[in-house]
Amino acid sequence: MADVRVSLCGVELRNPFIASSGPLTYGAKGIRRCFAAGAAAAVTKTLCKLPAENPIPHIVSLGKGTMLNTEKWADLSVQQWVEQEFPALRGADGVVIASLGHTVEEVELIAPQLARVGDPIRMLEVVSYRAVDMVPMVKAAKRLTDFPVLAKISPNWPDLMEVVDGCLAAGADGITAADSLGPVLHIDIETARPALSGDYGYAWMSGTAIKPVIVRIVADICRRHPDVPVVATGGVTTAEDAVEMFMVGATAIGAQTAPMLQGVSWFEKTANKLAKWLDAHGYRSPAEVRGRALPAIVPGEDKRPLTFFFDADKCTECGRCVTVCAYEARHLEEGKVMRLDTDACRSCGLCVTVCPTEALTADRV
Ligand SMILES: Cc1cc2nc3c(=O)[nH]c(=O)nc-3n(C[C@H](O)[C@H](O)[C@H](O)COP(=O)(O)O)c2cc1C
Ligand code: SF4
Ligand code: SF4
């Protein structure tokens, strides 16, 4: 069986899955529940100077593994975390990462208190709404504590790589990529109002819909900084999603939406499925997968036409490949005879990707 342990900033995790900051990590009880369900680590809800008061309602499921939220930071006070929640996590079966936001003043206020707490905190994660605050926050966290520091970036910042470079130069030990995507807006058409409460109904998206954005960001960071540990966070819903993140260079995986929607048992199930996937593909560990796709992420376009293969025995005559062709290039005739109008076909690749049985394949799809 593959060994799914990973090392993150010098701290060993029994598997790569981390409960990222959010409702599941609202306090010690929630974090212990994640650990008991298989999460190797958990990032606390973000500690700020004042406890959050959230708009109501503030989370909505869009279906298919995607959510929107207008939830703020931790609704428990720093004092409660320091005096009750962290002490209640001593001896817990997982790595505790304290999330700290959102300004340098707040880091200067809270980080020394976390340094005094010490055990069970093993790492800090600094997070902000504003890109300009990140570098001073990382510097302050490094100056005021001995913890490894992760810098959590937002996919919503325009000059993301500048922020990453700045945080690493300021001493960040790793990057968490990334926070939820937004702002977005969802209207409830029965009430003609935004579905969530908050300024202008603006919300932030998480879960399956944002995964390709996060894969691209993780790849950009890891191409630039191949040795920096990156916690890929955003839209990981299956073990295969985690593999995709490792392939673009991730070291560990953060998840909030999938275990919220599917239940916290998601952690153990997904870690087991990851081990099975690694075994089936001849890998001994996530580290062996790490960065494998990066050499193929290069500038330039391939313009050679596709070569298609059709296996009539596997074809169920569902017709999907025919339906999706905008150029009407594909025809399925009586007796499972597949015809392709090669003049009309643009080699876009779509028909191959909708075939449910792999009856239709191509050389590079
Ligand atoms: C309801 C909700 C609340 C969240 N609260 C926080 C938070 O307090 N601090 C933080 O850094 N990230 C917060 N996040 C962002 C998540 O940690 C994570 O970065 C994001 O949801 C993408 O991961 P996912 O697709 O696995 O959910 C929150 C996400 C959700 C869905
Ligand atoms: S590759 Fe694209 S254009 Fe060609 S048959 Fe398939 S869907 Fe049509
Ligand atoms: S999508 Fe696949 S199974 Fe369906 S008709 Fe086309 S080749 Fe056959």
Residue nearest to atom 8 of ligand 3 (CA): 315
Residue nearest to atom 1 of ligand 3 (CA): 355
Q: How far apart are CA 274 and CA 32, in angstroms?
A: 22
| Shortest-distance ligand to the CA of residue 176 | 1
Q: How far apart are CA 107 and CA 126, in angstroms?
A: 8
**The predicted structure's pLDDT at residue 350:** 98
**The predicted structure's pLDDT at residue 364:** 84
Cα Rg, the chain, nearest whole Å = 23
Cβ–Cβ under 8 Å, residues 54 and 70: yes
Question: Is the CB of 22 within 6 Å of ligand 1?
Answer: yes
| Shortest-distance ligand to the CA of residue 314 | 3
pLDDT tens-digit profile, the chain (365 residues): 999 999 999 999 999 999 999 999 999 999 999 999 999 999 999 999 999 999 999 999 999 999 999 999 999 999 999 999 999 999 999 999 999 999 999 999 999 999 999 999 999 999 999 999 999 999 999 999 999 999 999 999 999 999 999 999 999 999 999 999 999 999 999 999 999 999 999 999 999 999 999 999 999 999 999 999 999 999 999 999 999 999 999 999 999 999 999 999 999 999 999 999 999 999 999 999 999 999 999 999 999 999 999 999 999 999 999 999 999 999 999 999 999 999 999 999 999 999 999 999 999 88
Question: Is the CB of 355 within 6 Å of ligand 3?
Answer: yes
Cβ–Cβ under 8 Å, residues 187 and 195: yes
Question: Is the CB of 346 within 6 Å of ligand 2?
Answer: yes
Question: Is the CB of 154 within 6 Å of ligand 1?
Answer: no
Separation of CA 178 and ligand 3 centre (Å): 37
Cβ–Cβ under 8 Å, residues 15 and 37: no
Residue nearest to atom 3 of ligand 3 (CA): 315
Separation of CA 347 and ligand 1 centre (Å): 39
Question: Is the CB of 360 within 6 Å of ligand 3?
Answer: yes
Domains and CATH numbers, the chain: 6-296 (3.20.20.70), 308-362 (3.30.70.20)
Cα 271 off chain centre by = 15
Question: Is the CB of 357 within 6 Å of ligand 3?
Answer: yes
HEC assignment per residue over the chain: CCCCCEEECCEEECCCEEECCCHHHCCHHHHHHHHHCCCCEEECCCECCCCCCCCCCCEEEEECCEEEECCCCCCCCHHHHHHHHHHHCCCCCCEEEEEECCCHHHHHHHHHHHHHHCCCEEEEEEECCCHHHHHHHHHHHHHHCCCCEEEEECCCCCCHHHHHHHHHHCCCCEEEECCCEEEECCEECCCCEECCCCHHHCEEEEEHHHHHHHHHHHHHHHHHCCCCCEEEECCCCCHHHHHHHHHCCCCEEEECHHHHHHCCCHHHHHHHHHHHHHHHCCCCCHHHHCCCCHHHCCCCCCCCCCCEEECCCCCCCCCHHHHCCCCCCEEEECCCEEEECCCCCCCCCHHHHHCCCCCEEECCC
Q: How far apart are CA 202 and CA 197, in angstroms?
A: 8
Look at strands 252-255 and 17-19 and give their pairing.
parallel
